[in-house]
């Protein structure tokens, strides 16, 4: 069959198998080039970087990019956990399923251990599965990436299902976004969250599950001396704070930051540490439907590209690893630079004063008439489509896909 993107309400409902594989390959090639440019030594070359990395939420976005950086720049063996819909011969899978397949294939060709588990990362059963796997491999983890972004979470002890929402607190938040199908402004609004919705969002997106992972891995004796752990967050500009930083998601992220401080004390017992990394705003499934965010990102991308500072997921994670985490002797773990709140700020280029001043100036005058002049509409749309394997260089989108579950062999 010939696969075209199915877009409904600014969400892409399907994925292109070969496009996903090609985009994963692009990211791998990027970090290999940066490895050579920076002169980084991987494990086999005697480097002191990460050796065994666990990525929770490994299949897309920052989680996938973290796993790629660890494996292909530092030579780390990796275990990944994500919950994806698998493809069959006739039915497509989720983008993350194809990304995982491409990653595993490439890593194994490099002689790296690459174990990917399609499982619920919130369950005790999955934690036991990973602990057993580490013991079977006779490996201890020295880096844990917590990059889960699920809309729901079942409490592993009570079996109560919680759902997260992206809503403001106290009053309605409204603004224009971009309709990518028409390249025009489209207004939307989000009603304020109830107290129950706020609490449920914290239970899903906060630090409770991250804490469970570290505690159980530590109790099982599978953390290496010096083990570090990271979770990811976003702060963004003041114009988005009502819907994000000060909204339901922001409350969850503040809980995540509090968890990081608690975990940091625990991991110091074995010479390690815990941090939240505040990353740059990027196109995701959720950002496309949040009021103002898609418009802000489209303006931001144009401004940053003109300044030569724009980054995608892989560029951000490569810089995080090379310039924040592994700055020590022979690319080993170095002192981590943080802000006054103990946050790693890899969003520094986005939040630079000159960038934000220019974005603010444009946002105040934006209209349908000047949208194409001030917004990176093509770049935003490309990123939106590429997350699902569409609009990726080197892919023939008119070619027939004969087996939906064998995309890597066809690529």
273, β-bridge pairs: 228
- 244 is annotated as an active-site residue: yes
Angle (CA) 283-285-286 rounded to 5° is 95
Integer-rounded Cα Rg, in Å, for the chain is 21
Give the active site residue among 98, 244, 296, 380: 244
Query: 187 Cβ partners below 8 Å, 6+ apart?
Result: 174, 175, 176, 177, 291
CA distances, 308 to each of 23, 213, 349 (Å): 22, 38, 10
Residue 104 CA to residue 92 CA, distance in Å, equals 19
161, β-bridge pairs: 154
Q: For helices 17-38 and 313-320, what crossing angle results, to 10°?
A: 30
> Pairing state of beta strands 77-82 and 52-56?
parallel
Query: 243 Cβ partners below 8 Å, 6+ apart?
Result: 166, 167, 168, 173, 190, 290, 291, 292, 293
- Whether the CB-CB separation of 346 and 324 falls below 8 Å is answered with yes
Active-site residues, by number, are 244
């Amino acid at each position: 069959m010939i696969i075209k993107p199915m877009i409904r309400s600014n969400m892409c409902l399907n994925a292109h198998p070969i496009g996903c594989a090609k985009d994963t390959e692009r990211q791998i090639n990027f970090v290999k080039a940066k490895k050579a440019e920076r002169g980084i030594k991987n494990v086999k070359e005697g480097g002191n970087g990460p050796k065994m990395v666990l990525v929770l939420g490994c299949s897309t976005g920052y989680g996938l990019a973290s796993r790629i950086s660890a494996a292909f720049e530092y030579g780390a063996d990796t275990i990944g956990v994500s919950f994806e819909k698998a493809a069959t011969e006739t039915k497509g899978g989720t983008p993350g399923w194809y990304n995982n397949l491409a990653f595993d294939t490439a890593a194994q060709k490099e002689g790296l251990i690459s174990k990917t588990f399609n499982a619920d990362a919130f369950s005790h059963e999955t934690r036991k599965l990973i602990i057993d796997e580490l013991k079977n491999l006779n490996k201890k983890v020295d880096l844990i990436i917590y990059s889960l972004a699920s809309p729901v979470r079942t409490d592993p002890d009570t079996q109560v299902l919680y759902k997260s929402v992206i809503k403001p607190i106290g009053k309605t938040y409204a603004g224009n976004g971009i309709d990518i199908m028409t390249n025009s402004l489209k207004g939307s609004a989000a009603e304020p969250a109830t107290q129950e919705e706020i609490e449920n969002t914290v239970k899903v997106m906060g630090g409770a599950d991250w804490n469970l992972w570290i505690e159980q891995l530590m109790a099982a004796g599978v953390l290496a001396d010096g083990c570090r752990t990271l979770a990811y967050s976003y702060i963004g500009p003041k114009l988005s704070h009502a819907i994000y930083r000060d909204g339901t998601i922001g409350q969850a992220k503040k809980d995540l930051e509090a968890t990081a401080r608690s975990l940091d004390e625990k991991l110091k017992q074995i010479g390690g540490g815990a941090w939240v990394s505040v990353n740059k705003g990027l196109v995701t499934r959720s950002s496309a439907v949040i009021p103002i965010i898609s418009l802000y990102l489209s303006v931001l991308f144009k401004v940053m590209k003109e300044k030569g500072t724009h980054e995608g997921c892989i560029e951000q994670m490569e810089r995080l690893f090379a310039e924040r985490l592994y700055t020590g002797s022979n690319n080993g773990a170095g002192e981590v630079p943080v802000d006054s709140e103990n946050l790693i700020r890899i969003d520094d280029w986005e939040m630079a004063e000159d960038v934000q001043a220019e974005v603010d100036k444009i946002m105040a005058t934006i209209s349908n008439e000047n949208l194409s002049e001030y917004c990176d509409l093509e770049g935003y749309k490309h990123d939106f489509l590429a997350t699902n394997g569409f609009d990726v260089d080197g892919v023939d989108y008119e070619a027939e896909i004969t087996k939906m579950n064998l995309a890597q062999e066809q690529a």
